[in-house]
């Protein structure tokens, strides 16, 4: 039974783990060698590009995940968000995978609120706009209106391979992002690590 962590936590007086011990194997850094037929060209000339990878496993066993979930890119930190960091999420055209993984960081196992990270239902209260999925025609105006409604300072976070590179089903979201979180879908540990680094 996987939920023993909850009972153990109550007995010891610890509600959440400091760091997550169990990490899903895929959507972590990939290493290997040789030429493979990658549908998104994430592996070219023996180099792996996390931003393009949809973790389809067509490169397996030549390339394997090495369990390193810290593959996000944070171009800028903002100390103003140190105490509270509010996220407004826009799904511009996902399969639902990124939604599920992002929701997981609010679960007791990851508990994003202990780091001062919260979701908000309005862009007017948001510090960061999180965009997931490929860019669909009717969501262009929605993304622009949400971004314009946010107060300064504000950040844009691209979550998942579809938003970053278009994946295998569409076009990427053409915005200048402060935070890039690769994965298909991204690992909750990767997401939480990137958000925490923004606040440093």
Q: How is residue 161 written in tokens?
A: 């391979």
Domain hosting 38: range is 30-65
Overall average pLDDT of the 117-136 stretch = 95
Q: Which CATH number goes with the domain that contains 176?
A: 3.40.50.12280
| Domains contained in the chain, number | 2
Among residues 65, 86, 113, the one where a domain terminates is: 65
- Report if residue 3 sits inside a domain: no
- Report if residue 43 sits inside a domain: yes
pLDDT: is 10 or 165 the higher one? 165
- Report if residue 170 sits inside a domain: yes
Residue range 13-38, pLDDT digits in tens: 766 666 777 888 888 999 999 889 89
SS3 for 9? helix
Bridge partners (DSSP) listed for residue 88: 129
pLDDT at 6 over 70: no
Task: Please classify residue 138 by burial: count the beta carbons closer than 10 Å to its beta carbon, then call 0-12 exposed, 13-18 middle and 19+ buried.
Answer: exposed
Q: Are residues 53 and 85 in the same domain?
A: no
Full-model pTM: 0.87
Q: Are residues 115 and 45 in the same domain?
A: no
Bridge partners (DSSP) listed for residue 63: 32
Q: Are residues 111 and 180 in the same domain?
A: yes
pLDDT at 155 over 60: yes
């Amino acid at each position: 039974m996987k939920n023993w962590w909850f009972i153990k936590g109550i007995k010891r007086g610890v509600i959440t783990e400091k760091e997550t011990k169990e990490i899903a194997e895929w959507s972590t850094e990939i290493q290997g060698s040789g030429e493979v037929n990658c549908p998104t060209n994430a592996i070219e000339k023996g180099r792996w590009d996390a931003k393009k990878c949809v973790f389809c496993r067509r490169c397996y066993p030549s390339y394997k995940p090495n369990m390193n979930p810290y593959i996000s890119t944070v171009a800028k930190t903002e100390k103003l968000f140190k105490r509270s960091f509010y996220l407004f999420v826009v799904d511009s055209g996902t399969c639902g995978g990124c939604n599920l993984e992002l929701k997981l960081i609010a679960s007791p196992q990851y508990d994003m609120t202990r780091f001062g990270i919260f979701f908000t239902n309005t862009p007017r209260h948001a510090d960061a706009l999180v965009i997931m999925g490929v860019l669909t025609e009717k969501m262009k105006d929605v993304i622009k209106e949400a971004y314009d409604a946010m107060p300064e300072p504000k950040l844009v976070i691209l979550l998942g391979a579809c938003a970053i590179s278009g994946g295998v089903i569409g076009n990427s979201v053409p915005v200048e992002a402060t935070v890039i979180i690769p994965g298909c879908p991204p690992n909750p540990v990767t997401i939480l690590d990137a958000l925490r680094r923004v606040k440093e």
